[in-house]
Amino acid sequence: MALRPLRAARRALESMARGPYVALVGAATVFVAVFATGLFAGALGGAERLLAAWAGEVRVSVYLAPGADLERARAAAAALAPGRRVEAVPSEVALSRLADSLGEQAHVLEGVGPGALPDAVEIEAPGLSLDGARELAARLRSVPGADDVDYGTAWLEGVERFVARARTAAVFLFGALALATAILVSNTLRLAVFARREEIEIMKLVGATDAFVATPFLLEGLLQGLLGAGAAVLALAGVHGLLVPRLAAAVSAARALTLADTLPPALVVALVGGGAGIGLLGSALSVARALRRT
């Protein structure tokens, strides 16, 4: 006994209309799992975008050993960083800049001699990634007289390691949520299967195949998963519109955050597909259990 796709879809929709409570609970369960996963993934995507923005604003500084030739070091740095703005900063200029940055607290530098800070060569590298900054800093260590190289992103490296670990944790989070949600959806759909148990038994008695019986329930679970995942994606877009402007007001780098950073198309497809898969898996578990009993 074959079951046409349109007929199976119609039976699934009729079943959802007869039992809206079951359909809503199933879709809501998927919504929670997809929303939690999408929120975590979106936060990671935004963090990676902010890391790239912050890394692009750094200035690489080559601090020279006492007695090093500043002009020679500047020329060497310019050769190692072609196309970048390279500036030689004598000790007294560095001390003056430090005093300006301290503002009213500049009096703490009283009595500090001009040789307290080392001569330095500063390289401006706007738009440079964190990996690019590391590579440039490694090259600049060969500058004659270089004692230390600072590219101002040590704290960013710690954040980068955290984001990488969080990305791995997100995979396990989604796996755990998917399994738990599939079980919950399965238990919810058991109510629909139980309500139609007599109908299922009659269909089996007249020769209906397992596929004929199961297809409408599978489609029902698939539709619930799509509804829950679609609502979760819309909710995530709303969260982006609500939070990002407030974050941009507090952190200037966040002004570059777009919806494509926190909710890229690939993530949307994965969330919707994952939600549909969870619903389908939950309904398959429920129907398989019912068919074994009949």
pLDDT tens string, the chain, 294 residues long: the values are 444 666 766 766 676 666 677 778 878 888 988 898 888 888 888 777 776 666 556 678 888 888 889 899 999 988 988 888 888 888 888 777 767 766 666 666 666 666 677 888 888 776 666 677 778 888 888 989 888 888 766 566 666 677 777 777 777 877 787 777 777 777 777 766 666 667 667 777 777 676 777 777 788 888 888 999 999 999 999 998 888 788 777 666 667 778 888 888 998 998 999 888 888 887 787 777 766 766
Asked whether 288 and 200 are in contact (CB, 8 A), the reply is no
Helices (H) and strands (E) in the chain, counts: 10, 4
Tell me, letter by letter, the H, E, C secondary structure of 191-252: HHHHHCHHHHHHHHHCCCCHHHHHHHHHHHHHHHHHHHHHHHHHHHHHHHHHHHHHHHHHCH
- What percent of the residues of the chain are helix, what percent strand, and what percent coil, each to the nearest 5? 75, 5, 15
Q: Report if pTM > 0.95.
A: no
- 63-73 CB burial, b ≥16 within 10 A, e <16: bbeeebebeeb
Cα 27 to Cα 8: distance, rounded to the nearest angstrom: 19
Sign of the alpha-carbon dihedral angle for 4, 200, 179, 229:
positive
Structure tokens at 152: 């101002």
Bridge partner list, 175: none
pLDDT of residue 268: 92
Asked whether 108 and 102 are in contact (CB, 8 A), the reply is yes
pLDDT of residue 150: 80
